[in-house]
Structure 1
Amino acid sequence: MKMNNENEKLDQLFENFDNQWDVHELDSQHSDRFSKKLDLKKKKRNYSFIYAVAASVVVLLGVSLLYRNNDRPKELKFASKETKQTDSIFTVLIKNELEKIHEKKSPENEKIISDALKQMKSLDSDYDKIMHELEVNGESKPIIYAMISNLQTRISFLQSVLQRIEESEKLKNLNDEKTI
């Protein structure tokens, strides 16, 4: 009985709204126009998706070429086997020290690292000049000594920067412990 009562109440409620409902029939061309608009939107979306994929592929290719060129070691075509070996050994050591420094990067030691990288650019520039001299004038003791000295200086510099960063971190940890 209760169900019937509820159904009657609902019927009475909707009787009052009979004149307010929108019951007009749509014209026959309405569905055709709607379908055409949907088709146009689908076509536009497909092209934009294709453009987005193409742009992504171009960016990825550009980035991969950039990294591939930067990672390729400088070849010393004009140098002896011993000079090439020396250069490659020192280059690996320098690269490892730079990676260690980048791993230590934090807001506290960011200034130290940025200053160190500026100094490294200067040392790299000096090294490039030495390599140019080696290429132009050939191998001679002064040029080889200058090359080795530059490589040793860069490694020593990077090691001292790492040591300074570690000392800075120890001081920060000690200060943190004292405040607790």
Structure 2
Amino acid sequence: MKRNADPIDELFIKHQFQWDIENLEANHELRFKEKLNQKKFNWRFIVSIGIAASIAIFLFTTMGDPTYKKPSELQYASKETIQTDSIFTVLIERELEKIEEKKSPENKKIIADALKQMKQLDADYEKIIQELEVNGESKQIIYAMISNLQTRISFLQKVLEHLENNENKNVFPDEKTI
């Protein structure tokens, strides 16, 4: 019985004289050995220069910039807690900016008292943060943190309301109030 030829073998037999065959030059082996013996490019040197440049740029941008703010105080908190803190912090800063805009000789005492009260609330918040770092996250600490943040925002809103009421009273000084 005759064996069936493999189609690949048939293909090689059919095209055996059509292959590109080129002989190498006589000194090919010498040139190859010379290239192997040549000094290789030192990638470690280039990489170390790149790392040093990256460190220098990082140090320049963080330490050279006087407006650089240190990272959030919540180093040991979850992402959700850090996100909540940052949202409330932005709201508090906006309210403080609004109060600063209302600064006038008539409102000077009210604003000074409000800022004094805010310092006390900030000190309480720092204690909560220290408790968070020592004991980790618990429902009580998170509730205390959120409560403090909400208290600060509502306090600032009440101060703003009071300042606006004072401004409205001063708009019509000739009117008599009962």
SS at match of 1:76: coil
With structure 2 as the length reference, what TM-score do the two structures score? Answer: 0.60
Residue of structure 2 equivalent to 1:109? 107
Structure 1 113/145 Cα, relative in aligned 2: closer, same or farther at 3 Å?
Answer: same
Specify the SS of the correspondent of 1:178: coil
Does 2:143 align with 1:156? no
Letter in 1 for 2:86: S
In the TM superposition, residue 115 of structure 1 has moved relative to its aligned partner by 0.2
- TM-score when normalising by structure 1: 0.59
Which of residues 108, 112, 123 in structure 2 aligns to 1:125?
A: 123
Question: How far apart in 1 are the matches of 2:132 and 2:153?
Answer: 21
State the SS of the aligned residue for 2:137.
coil
Larger displacement relative to structure 2 (138-147 or 74-83): 74-83
Structure 1 or 2: larger helix share?
1
Is 1:178 matched up with 2:175?
Answer: yes
Residue in structure 2 matching 1:81, options 69, 73, 79:
79
* Aligned-partner residue type, residue 168 of structure 2: K
Number of corresponding residues: 112
Which runs of 5 or more structure 1 residues have no equivalent in the other structure?
A: 1-63
- What pairs with 1:32-51 in structure 2 (closer than 5 Å)? none
Match of 1:91 in 2: 89
- 1:157 Cα deviation after fit: 0.1
Counterpart in 2 of 1:136? 134
Instruction: Label 1:73 to 1:109 Cα distance change in 2 as closer, same or farther (>3 A).
Output: farther
Amino acid at match of 2:169: L
Residues 73 and 134 (structure 1), Cα distance of their counterparts in 2 relative to 1, 3 Å cut:
same
**Aligned-CA RMSD value:** 1.6
Runs of 4+ displaced beyond 4 Å: none
Once residues 79 and 131 of structure 1 are traced to their aligned partners in structure 2, the CA distance between those partners, rounded to angstroms, is: 9
Task: Tell me: CA distance 1:86–1:130, structure 2 relative to 1, closer, same or farther (3 Å).
Answer: same
CA deviations 1:133-161 (Å, max 9, x no partner) are 00000000000000000000000000000
1:72-109, Cα deviation, whole Å (9 max, x unpaired): 46331200000000000000000000000000100010
The answer to which of 73-82 and 152-161 deviates more is: 73-82
Q: Quote the Cα distance in structure 2 between the aligned partners of 1:152 and 1:178.
A: 37
Contact 2:73 2:129 (8 Å CA) reproduced: no
Which string of whole-angstrom CA distances, capped at 9 and with x for unpartnered residues, describes residues 20-57 of structure 1?
xxxxxxxxxxxxxxxxxxxxxxxxxxxxxxxxxxxxxx
Paired with 2:132 and 2:158, the residues of 1 have a C-alpha distance of 28
Unaligned runs of 5+ in 2: 1-64
Partners of 1:172 and 1:107 lie apart in 2 by 13
Please report how far the alpha carbon of residue 113 of structure 1 lies from its aligned counterpart in structure 2 after TM superposition. 0.2
